[in-house]
Structure 1
Amino acid sequence: MQHQQKQLHWPETVTRPLLVSGHCPDGADAMAERLWRGAGFEVREMAADWGTHGLKAGFVRNAQMVEFAVSLCQQGSRVLCAAFLDLCRKWDCRMSQRQQLAPRVTGHFSHGAVDCRAEALSAGIETVDVFPSRLALAT
């Protein structure tokens, strides 16, 4: 099977596409950064500072990303948050018995993704939920 590259086309009003990424070295952040840079677009990396904030670093970073997005909105930019909702992968998660998903899928979503999504929605940022195909097929 041959893959075809598709050129990304933006509405004429989008003059400078910018990806604001949590800069996690694997998963959705890394994939999005590669795709975005490959298309020649700018990436703003906002990595969590685990040394300073400890276990809350991801949540602090999420708030900072949303604050940055709000500042872009205030400058007249169109902002869209894509929430990549995958399953929580913590083997010792205290919430492992909490059911958040469709009845045919056991588990709950990544705490960081849910937090960032909630922050964005609370700030009035348009948000789109993105699910891995294995979850989308199960619903």
Structure 2
Amino acid sequence: MVTDYRIIVTGGRHRHRKEDGRKLLAVLETIKAQRSDPCRLVIVQGGCPTGVDAMARSIAREYKLPVETYTADWDKHGRAAGPIRNQIMADAGANLCLAFPDTDKSPGTWDMIRRACATGIETRIYPKVMS
């Protein structure tokens, strides 16, 4: 029986470096190689049209991985929409959270990191290296 291995990918909307894509691919390949049971990798993300969310969708599409998108309802919830969406993503459960925050603030990414950690999801943070 194939089980789902759910990976939340979160990050800055202005962050879109090839290096981040390579890191995501390396993690996906490592997970597949280390698992003794067959698993289906599922990418879970917040639906931002730019940045890390867009990168994750692009990689998932290229490698034919399923994507679960949790969009924030900004019209209904205003500024609370992002944290509400992040909590729903954390509550849905995941095996791993990969976080790629922008160097500046990145409050939504850090909120997702806190919520993933609070629900017991293993979380790896990849800070943006200044060049």
Q: CA offsets per residue over residues 13-44 of structure 1, 9 Å max, x none?
A: 35111011001110001111101121110000
Tell me which residue corresponds to 1:129: 125
The separation in 1 between residues aligned to 2:111 and 2:48, in whole angstroms, is 15
2:65 is equivalent to residue 38 of structure 1? no
TM-score when scaled to structure 2? Answer: 0.70
State the secondary structure of the residue aligned to 1:60. Answer: helix
- Give the gaps of 5 or more residues in structure 2: 1-21
State the secondary structure of the residue aligned to 2:79. Answer: helix
State the secondary structure of the residue aligned to 1:41. Answer: coil
Tell me which residue corresponds to 2:108: 112
Q: How do 1:62-77 residues align onto structure 2 when only pairs under 5 Å count?
A: 62-69=86-93
Give every structure 1 segment of 4 or more consecutive aligned residues whose post-TM-superposition deviation is greater than 4 Å.
5-8
Tell me how large the CA RMSD over aligned residues is. 2.2
Which structure would you say has the larger RCO, counting Cα contacts within 8 Å and 6 or more residues apart? 2
**CA 1:129–1:14 in structure 2 vs 1: closer, same or farther (change >3 Å)?**
farther
- Give the gaps of 5 or more residues in structure 1: 73-78, 89-108
Tell me which residue corresponds to 2:98: 82
The structure where strand makes up a greater share of residues is 2
Name the count of aligned residue pairs: 103
